[in-house]
Chain A
Amino acid sequence: MNKMKLIELIARHTREVLPELEAHQFIPSDQLVDLGANSVDRAEIAMLVQESLGLSVPRVQLFGPKNIGELADLFLEKLDAV
Chain B
Amino acid sequence: MLSKPVITGMGVIAAIGQGKAAFITGLLEGKHAFGVMQRPGRQRDSAYIGAEIGKITFSPAITKQTLHASSFSSQAALVVVQEAWDEARLFDVDPMRIGLIVGGSNIQQRELVQVHEGYRDRCAFLRPTYGLSFMDSDVCGFCTAQFGIRGPSYTVGGASASGQLAIVQAAQAVLTNQVDVCIALGALMDLSHWECRGLRALGAMGSDRYESEPALACRPFDRDHDGFIFGECCGAVVVESMESSKRRGLEPYAALRGWGIVMDGNRNPDPSLEGETQAIQKALAASGLPPAQIDYVNPHGTGSIAGDRVELDALRACQLTGAYVNATKSLIGHGLSAAGTVEVIATLLQMQAGRLHPSRNLENPIDSTWNWVSDRSVDYPIENALTLSMGFGGINTAMYWQRHHQA
Chain A contact residues, CB within 8 Å of chain B:
16-20, 36, 40-41, 43-44, 47-48, 50-51, 56
Contact = CB atoms under 8 A, between A and B. Distances in A.
Contacts of B129: 40, 43-44
Contact of A50 (B64, B67, B69, B125): B125
Contacts of A17: 65, 68-69
Contacts of A41: 65, 69
B246 interface: no
Contact of A19 (B65, B125, B126, B128): B65
B124 A56 contact: yes
28 contacts: A16-B68, A17-B65, A17-B68, A17-B69, A18-B65, A18-B68, A19-B64, A19-B65, A19-B67, A19-B68, A20-B63, A20-B64, A20-B65, A40-B128, A40-B132, A41-B69, A43-B128, A43-B129, A44-B127, A44-B129, A47-B125, A47-B126, A47-B127, A47-B128, A48-B125, A48-B127, A50-B125, A51-B122
A56 B371 CA distance: 66
A26 B29 CA distance: 52
B321 to A, nearest CB: 55
Interface string B36-76: 00000000000000000000000000011101110000000
Given A19-B64, A20-B63, A20-B64, A44 B128 contact: yes
Interface string B118-134: 00001011111100100
State the main secondary structure of chain B at its contact with A: helix
A47 B69 CA distance: 14
Interface of B: 63-65, 67-69, 122, 124-129, 132
A54 to B, nearest CB: 9
Contacts of A19: 64-65, 67-68
A48 to B, nearest CB: 8
A55 B361 CA distance: 57
Contacts of A16: 68
Nearest to B126: A47
A36 B127 CA distance: 19
A18 B65 CA distance: 5
Nearest to A50: B125
A48 B124 CA distance: 11
B346 to A, nearest CB: 35
Contacts of A48: 125, 127
A36 B125 CA distance: 23
A51 B132 contact: no
Given A20-B64, A56-B124, 19 more contacts: A17-B65, A17-B69, A19-B67, A19-B68, A20-B65, A40-B128, A40-B129, A43-B129, A44-B127, A44-B128, A44-B129, A47-B125, A47-B126, A47-B127, A47-B128, A48-B125, A48-B127, A51-B122, A56-B125
